[in-house]
Structure 1
Amino acid sequence: MDACEGDVPEAEWGGYHRIEKGYGLRWYDRTEGYAQQLIDGTKLLRKRVETIDVTPDLLITGAVDWLNEVLTLKVKGEEDRYSHTDLYDFAAKVEGAKKTFTLLKDELEKM
């Protein structure tokens, strides 16, 4: 769903960035079928998320992953190479990490 061009074989590439690449390139001709694939993938993801036991360790790991992603991908502009919305993504990842820390601060201080 979130793979960038070159992350997976061309025949398997779909999702957000596949649709995003088509903007400005007669996107309606180039994104046929990808929107439904994205909808189906989102529904499947929702079903899987509902089965996950979210623990403080998982939240902390996720927050650290977001910050690492900002440092390695977002700063270079590779993630949103077509839409150029990197700064919005950058801010959202940092905000999410801060919120995670706020939610777990009391527990972390006990450690």
Structure 2
Amino acid sequence: MDFDWAPATVHREGVKNYEQLFCYWTPEIGSNPAKVGLMSIPSKEIVRTLNLFSVSDVKLHWQSDASFLCVKVDRHSKSKKSQATSLEIFRVKEKGVPVEVVDTIKDTVVNFAWEPK
């Protein structure tokens, strides 16, 4: 379990009140999937959630002006013998916060970083 604050105030499309955002993830417990979420503070509104299955680890990476959030998901096979990584890109400023998925990467991804401004 982990959380991370957005590095800047996000001006989301269709939202007049500019609030701070933070993202969090919770691990799989039993048959409940792992969850990644975006929450607006101080209203405590859940802006977006994403359910994930077969998760070993999750790392959260904000882009410098908080337009994007990359969630690096390390997944394991059902037998837990092999690992793969996927990148889930949240487009935070767009209405509904759409998520793009970078196809599964079979090689080990050690780190992810956004290009600086």
- TM more than 0.5: no
TM-score of the superposed pair, with normalisation by structure 2? 0.23
TM-score of the superposed pair, with normalisation by structure 1? 0.24
Higher helix share: 1
